[in-house]
Structures are given as C-alpha cells and as structure tokens.
C-alpha cells in the first residue's frame, strides 16, 4: 500500500554533549522516508529544497525506493535550515535557529499519481502546507497521520487545530501534548486532544518510550535502553516512518496493530539516535531490526503465572 510523505527536507546543524556537526542533511521527511523504506518500496515524497541541496542526498532516497517526483528544487533559493543544541540529558533541546528559506513560499503540488495514497504521513511542517496536501487527495486515505512540533504551535496554533479535525493519528511529544491541551496530566491531555479530531494519539517521551491512546484504551511501549546515544535528532521522525511503513506493509489500522507499529517505530528510532544525522538509518538491515524486535519482546513481556 502506498505512503505519501510530506515534510521538511533540510540542512541541520546539531550540537550534543558528544559533538557538533556543521550543515548535514536532515529534515522530517528525510528521516520518515528512510525509516519507512524498510517496510515498503511504495513511498512518494512531496517536499521542497533549494539549489544548494546535494544531488547525492536525493539519490540516497531514490536508492531506498523513494519516488522523489514531488520534490521541488528551487533555483537560486536556499534549503530549510534548522540548528539545535541538546541538553546534557539528551531528552530536551533548544532550537538555536530556524531559517524557513524555500519553505516560506512553498506551494506543495501532489503529482496526479500520488493522490490516491492509502497512507498519508503529514510530517512536521507548516500546518497550512500540511492542509494543502490533504486537500489534494482524490479519495480519503485509510489513515492520515500528522506530526508537528512546538515551533508550529507557537506561531500557527489556529491552523494546526483546524487541520487536526481531518487527522486520524497525531504524534507529538509530551511537552507538545501539554502545550496543545493546556493540561499537565498526559491522561487529561490525551482526552482533550482526542476530542479535537484525531481517533488515535501517540505521545512520545524520548528515551522513556511512547503512549498510544484511543478513546477507550491506552498502550505504553518503552524505548530500547541503548548504550550509546549520540544524536536524538530525527528520532521522532524515524519513529513515525517505522510506524507508517509497518502499517502499510501489514495493511491493518486496528488498535492492536497500531501497538505493533509503535514497537517497530521505537526500533527504527533506536537506530537513528546511535549516530549523527541519517548515517545509521542508511545502514540498517532486516536482521538488525528483527534482533531488536526480539530484545523488545523479551524486555517488555512478562508472565504473571509462576512456574
């Protein structure tokens, strides 16, 4: 089943307690596509970059089976740029700079043959652009997933709340859930957010795992404890990519299957954070994914019956 991915394709400059990078390739859509490509080869990308974006990075996506026909390359313009600095606990970060550049006037055009996608992954981007993509779909996708962040809540909360009415699954982190709902308790926040439109809600808690909610149920998946965490950038997007990739492969959007998808999303995120940028995501193998899934099952499962 095909997945349409919209989001930033970007340059990032990252500082963590373990090191610092100059401009490297990043962006929400880049991480989503790379992570999802382990599950499906039917990934279609809609995004925008400037003339300064390296051809090789686009080729890397193509090599993973991503169709980049919907990626606009703007002559004479600069790619979206984000820089961030992580605190010592690596769970929180400060955005140092966001240069919208090509994003400022981006008008997403969804190619005709992308408009019947079964899964629409609206990656982190200006809410009005996410909506423009949704409006171009020919028939309602089986599942519309939206990811966003505090930056858009700070500047475009009204647009975001409007978009949420047409979203099936929202993925945000705990701080963003609090900001969106104006509730401190995540349980109360989830109840409020589920009344804004989404049928499902995922609240990510970084190294402490993720919650999945619907109106009646809640599921919690821990994150894999890792020896080395170098750079959490893109963890949320790799999570979303793993999740949507798994759902499209298994063609099942029930709560039970969403639970499995959350675990696959967590596994993809666990690879992402072990190196800077997209480096590690490009090197994962099916064997490595299976091995981490097994660790997950062993770590989180328990038996109430004594032997």
Q: Would you tell me which residues interact with ligand AMP (CB under 6 A)?
A: 8, 10, 12, 26-28, 82, 98, 124-125, 149, 151, 233-237
Directed axis angle between helix 235-250 and helix 28-36, to 10°? 40
The Cα–Cα gap between 251 and 45 comes to 20
Cβ proximity to ligand AMP, 125 vs 247, nearer residue: 125
- C-beta of residue 101 within 8 angstroms of C-beta of residue 80: yes
Nearer Cβ to ligand AMP (56/307): 56
CB of 101 to ligand AMP, least distance (A): 12
Judged by beta carbon, residue 149 or residue 196, the one nearer ligand AMP is 149
Residue 71, strand partner residues: 47
Q: Distance (Å, rounded) from C-alpha 65 to C-alpha 62?
A: 5
| Shortest Å, Cβ 2 to ligand AMP | 23
Return phi, psi of residue 188, to 5°. -65, -40
- Of the two residues 34 and 110, which places its CB atom closer to ligand AMP in the complex? 34
Q: How far is the CB of 174 from ligand AMP (least distance, A)?
A: 13
- Which residue shows structure tokens 């990043």? 26
Please give the Cα distance from 42 to 75 (Å, whole number): 28
CB of 270 to ligand AMP, least distance (A): 13
Residue 300 C-beta: closest distance to ligand AMP, Å: 23
Q: CA–CA distance from 138 to each of 40, 118, 132, 216, 237 (Å)?
A: 22, 11, 13, 31, 26
Closer Cβ to ligand AMP, 98 or 136, answer by number: 98
Pairing of strands 119-122, 143-147: parallel
């Amino acid at each position: 089943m095909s997945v349409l991915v919209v989001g930033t394709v970007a340059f990032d400059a990252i500082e963590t307690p373990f090191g610092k990078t100059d401009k490297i390739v990043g962006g929400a859509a880049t991480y989503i596509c790379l992570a999802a490509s382990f599950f499906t080869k039917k990934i279609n990308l809609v995004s925008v970059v400037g003339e300064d974006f390296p051809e090789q990075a686009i080729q890397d996506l193509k090599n993973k089976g991503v169709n980049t026909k919907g990626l606009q390359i703007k002559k004479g313009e600069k790619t979206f740029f984000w820089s961030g600095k992580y605190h010592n606990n690596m769970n929180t970060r400060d955005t140092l700079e966001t240069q919208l550049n090509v994003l400022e006037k981006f008008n997403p055009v969804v190619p005709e043959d992308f408009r019947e996608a079964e899964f629409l992954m609206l990656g982190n981007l200006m809410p009005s652009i996410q909506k423009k993509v949704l409006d171009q779909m020919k028939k309602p996708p089986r599942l519309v997933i939206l990811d966003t962040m505090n930056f858009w809540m700070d500047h475009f909360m009204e647009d975001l709340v409007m978009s949420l009415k047409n979203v099936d699954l929202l993925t945000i982190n705990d701080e963003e859930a609090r900001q969106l709902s104006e509730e401190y308790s995540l349980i109360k926040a989830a109840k409020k957010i589920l009344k804004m439109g989404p049928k499902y809600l995922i609240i990510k808690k970084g190294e402490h795992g993720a919650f999945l909610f619907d109106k009646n149920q809640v599921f919690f998946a821990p994150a894999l404890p890792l020896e080395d965490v170098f750079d959490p950038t893109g963890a949320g997007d790799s999570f979303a990519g793993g999740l949507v990739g798994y759902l499209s492969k298994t063609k099942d959007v029930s709560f039970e299957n969403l639970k499995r998808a959350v675990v696959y999303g967590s596994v993809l995120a666990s690879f992402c954070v072990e190196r800077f940028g997209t480096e590690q995501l490009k090197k994962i193998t099916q064997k490595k994914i299976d091995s981490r899934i097994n660790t997950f099952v062993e770590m989180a499962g328990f038996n109430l019956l004594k032997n």
